[in-house]
């Protein structure tokens, strides 16, 4: 079974819906699907962080299986020091509640690595991943997973090297805000990796269920 681990849209697949805090917070109450919630670096504000932490005062809110997307964007968004603080606080929260973190990063891999090293037991999922081979090798030493989206279809050439480097056991798939179907993204991957589709599907499903603890959503 294919699982869409990061989408902002209704999905025909089993999926994890990503909500931005605080704007989409009200959607949390009528959640019938698994959810990730976080403060995006584009809209990072300290007061949002305080409110966000209050959400977890009674424990993990229902349906929440991950924190994010959150992270570091050095091209766009709040001042970098604010982004770092807000990201750190969310990682801390994830660590406290043993939740994985869905990471958005643009030119911020070293900032994210700084957090990864501080929280070796927390799982970090890089969404829409596209890094160079050196960065990828560095990340592979840690508790990190790599989620691929429609970039695989649009620019397969950019991905070949990192697809070769990353074991199937460390990858996931997502549609994010894009137009592409999850199945097409998956097929683009199996072609680049030259691996048998059924085998890949099974491995990736297992990883997703384990990382996000999805059994209770009928996905395990
Ligand atoms: Zn997203």
Each residue of 5-41: pLDDT tens digit? Answer: 999 998 889 999 999 999 998 777 766 789 999 999 9
Say if 219 falls within a structural domain.
Answer: no
Q: Is residue 168 packed enough to be buried (19+ CB in 10 Å), middle (13-18) or exposed (0-12)?
A: middle
* Domain residue limits at 170: 3-213
Q: Which residues contact 185 (CB under 8 A, 6 or more apart)?
A: 148, 149, 150, 152, 153, 173, 174, 175
**How remote is the CA of residue 153 from the centroid of ligand 1, in Å?**
17
Say if 220 falls within a structural domain.
Answer: no
Say if 107 falls within a structural domain.
Answer: yes
Residue whose C-alpha is closest to residue 214's, from 69, 34, 6? 34
Say if 33 falls within a structural domain.
Answer: yes
Report the number of distinct structural domains present in the chain: 1
Give per-residue pLDDT as tens, 92-135. Answer: 999 999 999 999 999 999 999 999 999 999 999 999 999 999 99
Say if 85 falls within a structural domain.
Answer: yes
Say if 218 falls within a structural domain.
Answer: no
Are the CB atoms for 69 and 102 separated by under 8 Å? Answer: yes
**How remote is the CA of residue 104 from the centroid of ligand 1, in Å?**
7
Cα 116–chain centre separation? 14
Report if pTM > 0.85: yes
169: domain CATH number is 3.20.20.140
**Interstrand relation of 124-126 and 3-7 (parallel, antiparallel or unpaired):** unpaired
**How remote is the CA of residue 19 from the centroid of ligand 1, in Å?**
9
């Amino acid at each position: 079974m294919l699982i869409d681990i990061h989408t902002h849209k209704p999905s025909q697949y089993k999926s994890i819906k990503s909500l931005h805090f605080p704007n989409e917070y009200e959607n949390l109450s009528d959640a019938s699907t698994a959810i990730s919630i976080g403060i995006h670096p584009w809209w990072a504000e300290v007061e949002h962080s305080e409110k966000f932490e209050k959400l977890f005062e009674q424990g993990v809110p229902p349906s929440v299986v991950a924190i994010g997307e959150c992270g570091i964007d050095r091209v766009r968004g709040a001042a970098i020091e604010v982004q770092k603080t807000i990201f750190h606080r969310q990682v801390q929260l994830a660590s406290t509640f043993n939740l994985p973190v869905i990471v958005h990063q643009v030119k911020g891999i070293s900032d994210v690595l700084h957090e990864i090293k501080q929280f070796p037991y927390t799982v970090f999922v890089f969404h829409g991943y596209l890094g160079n081979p050196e960065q990828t090798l560095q990340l592979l030493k840690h508790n990190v997973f790599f989620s691929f989206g429609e970039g695989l279809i649009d620019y397969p050439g950019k991905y070949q090297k990192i697809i070769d480097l990353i074991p199937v056991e460390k990858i996931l798939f997502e549609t994010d805000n894009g137009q592409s179907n999850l199945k097409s993204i998956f097929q683009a991957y199996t072609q680049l990796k030259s691996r048998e589709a059924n085998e890949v599907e099974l491995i990736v499903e297992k990883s997703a269920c384990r990382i996000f603890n999805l059994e209770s959503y009928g996905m395990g």
